[in-house]
Amino acid sequence: MKEYSIVTKSRDETHELGEKLGRSAQPGMVFLMNGDLGAGKTTLTQGIGRGLGVKKQITSPTFTIMKIYHGRLTLYHIDAYRMEGIDQDLGFDEYLNDDGLTVIEWSQFMPALIPDEYLSVTITLLDEDQRQFDMNAAGERYERLLEELK
Ligand SMILES: Nc1ncnc2c1ncn2[C@@H]1O[C@H](COP(=O)(O)OP(=O)(O)O)[C@@H](O)[C@H]1O
Ligand SMILES: [Mg+2]
């Protein structure tokens, strides 16, 4: 399955969606997240952390650019919001070959980090509590991941 869309009606439902992704994630995977401020990128990542068994509270990495959490896989949580227009190699790409899971919020602002294969998640704010998640799988591993979400 290359594409999958789902609407969640609460923060809890988004956590559950993320949890499924976290449980199915495999070493070296990269999830790209885009969508307006407040869409739910960090909320989805919190669920992913839960699915990976991360105990620590996951918070927005906006001011630190990257935070690292330890679970079944190491979670590299990047927020590229402040990287818009900055075209420099900060060495983050080293993590993309790692055995961990890399989640990049605002990946559009860090095109150099986008690998050939990835799961992209575009989040649209429908109303106060409803969010639409449009997922796109590039690569077989990610297509299988979407199958598991159904
Ligand atoms: N269905 C939903 N899914 C995710 N977040 C939701 C939902 N409904 C309301 N929210 C709220 O929207 C906000 C999303 O914030 P956040 O995840 O930090 O967004 P982003 O990282 O995309 O800027 C949170 O305050 C959350 O409680
Ligand atoms: Mg965020």
- The 10 Å Cβ neighbour count of residue 132 is 16
Q: What is the per-residue pLDDT across 103-148, written as a single tens digit (0 to 9) for each?
A: 999 999 988 889 999 999 999 999 999 999 999 999 999 999 999 9
The mean pLDDT of 32-61, rounded to a whole number, is 97
* Cα 102 off chain centre by: 7
User: Cα(40)–Cα(56) distance, rounded to whole angstroms?
Assistant: 19
Residues near ligand 2 ion, CB 5 Å cutoff: 41-42, 60, 105
| Domain spans of the chain, in order of start | 3-83+94-149
Ligand that lies nearest to the alpha carbon of residue 48, given by its number in the listed order: 1
CATH says 3-83+94-149 is which class?
alpha beta
pLDDT attached to residue 97:
66
Confidence of residue 40 (pLDDT cuts 50, 70, 90): very high
Q: Is 61 in the pocket of ligand 1 (CB under 6 A)?
A: no
17 pLDDT higher than 80: yes
Select from 6, 15, 43 the residue to mutate for testing ligand 1; criterion: most ligand atoms less than 8 Å from CB.
43
Select from 7, 11, 103, 132 the residue to mutate for testing ligand 1; criterion: most ligand atoms less than 8 Å from CB.
11
